[in-house]
C-alpha cells in the first residue's frame, strides 16, 4: 500500500506511546490509537504480524504528516535548504542510533559545508530546550580524519576552542557552550539529531 503522495512510510505511529506495532500491508500502526481509520479499512488490509516497535522509529501523530511539501520537494515537517531536506529529531539517541534512524528515512545525519548551512541547521534546533545535537561528523581512527556519514567532503568546520579533544570522543555534536560551536563527544551518549537528504534522492 502507498499513500496517494507516492511515499511508502517507514515508521508511522498514531499516538505518543507506541509499545507495539501492527503491519498492515506495509503500514505500521499503533494498535491503541488508530484515529481516522475505519474498521472496514482495517479489515480490508488485514493484520499480518505484531512485534515490538523498533527503537529507532519516531512517533508521528498522523499519517498525513508524510506528505510532500510540493513547493520545496521535501516531505511534510522537513524543510528545504540548498537542494537538501532537513528535519530535527527530538528523540534522544546515541550517534549510531541517530544515523540509522536518518537512513531509515532515506537520509543521513546532516553534514555541514558552509557557515550559512550551519546557521540554518542551528535554526532548526533553536525552538528546543536541549540544544546540543548530533550531526553526521565521525572520526575515522585508523585514517585519523573526520568524515561525514553521507560521504561528502569534510572541509568546513566550526570547532570550539581546544576541540576536537580526541580520546574516545569520535562523534560530533553542535551547539556546544554559549558559542554554539562544535565538540567531539562519546558516540554512546544520547542527543537529539538533525537528518538531511538530497532532493534528488526524493525525486529519483
How large is the average pLDDT for residues 158-176? 95
Q: Does residue 116 have a pLDDT over 50?
A: yes
Q: Does residue 39 have a pLDDT over 90?
A: no
The per-residue pLDDT for range 67-115, each reduced to its tens digit, is 444 456 898 889 999 899 999 999 999 999 999 999 999 999 999 999 9
Q: Does residue 48 have a pLDDT over 90?
A: no
pLDDT level of residue 142 (50, 70, 90 thresholds): confident
Task: For residues 56 and 93, give the distance between their C-alpha atoms in angstroms, rounded to a whole number.
Answer: 8
CA 41 to chain centre: 30
Provide the pLDDT for residue 28: 42
Where do the H-state alpha helices sit in 17-114? 39-45, 95-104
Provide the pLDDT for residue 190: 98
DSSP-derived secondary structure letter, 128:
S
The per-residue pLDDT for range 14-33, each reduced to its tens digit, is 333 443 343 334 444 444 44
The domain 69-203 is placed in CATH, from the list 3.30.2320.30, 3.40.50.720, 3.40.190.10, 3.10.100.10, at 3.10.100.10
3-state SS, 58-72, equals CCCCCHHHHCEECCC
Q: Residue 183 has which C-alpha cell?
A: 565538540
For the chain, give every domain's residue range: 20-66, 69-203
Q: Does residue 4 have a pLDDT over 50?
A: no
Provide the pLDDT for residue 127: 81
Q: Between 128 and 96, name the one with better pLDDT.
A: 96
Task: For residues 95 and 51, give the distance between their C-alpha atoms in angstroms, rounded to a whole number.
Answer: 25
How many C-beta atoms surround the C-beta of residue 32 within 10 A? 11
- Binning the chain into helix, strand and coil, the percentages to the nearest 5 are 20, 30, 50
Q: Which CA distances in Å does 85 have to 44, 138, 174?
A: 35, 21, 19
Amino acid at each position: 500500500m502507498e499513500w496517494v503522495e507516492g511515499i511508502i512510510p517507514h515508521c508511522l505511529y498514531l499516538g505518543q506511546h507506541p509499545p507495539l506495532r501492527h503491519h498492515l500491508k506495509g503500514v505500521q500502526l499503533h494498535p491503541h490509537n488508530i484515529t481516522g481509520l475505519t474498521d472496514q479499512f482495517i479489515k480490508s488490509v488485514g493484520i499480518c504480524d505484531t512485534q515490538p516497535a523498533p527503537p529507532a522509529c519516531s512517533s508521528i501523530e498522523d499519517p498525513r504528516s508524510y506528505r510532500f511539501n510540493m513547493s520545496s520537494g521535501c516531505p511534510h515537517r522537513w524543510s528545504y535548504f540548498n537542494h537538501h531536506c532537513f528535519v530535527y529529531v527530538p528523540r534522544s539517541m546515541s550517534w549510531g542510533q541517530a544515523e540509522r534512524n536518518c537512513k531509515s528515512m532515506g537520509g543521513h545525519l546532516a553534514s555541514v559545508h558552509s557557515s550559512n548551512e550551519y546557521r540554518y541547521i542551528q535554526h532548526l534546533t533553536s525552538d528546543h530546550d536541549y540544544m546540543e545535537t548530533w550531526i553526521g561528523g565521525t572520526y575515522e581512527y585508523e585514517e585519523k580524519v573526520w568524515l561525514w556519514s553521507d560521504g561528502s567532503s569534510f572541509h568546513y568546520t566550526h570547532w570550539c576552542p581546544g576541540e576536537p579533544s580526541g580520546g574516545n570522543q569520535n562523534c560530533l555534536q553542535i551547539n556546544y557552550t554559549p558559542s554554539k560551536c562544535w565538540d567531539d563527544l562519546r558516540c554512546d551518549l544520547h542527543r537529539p539529531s538533525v537528518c538531511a537528504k538530497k532532493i534528488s534522492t526524493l525525486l529519483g
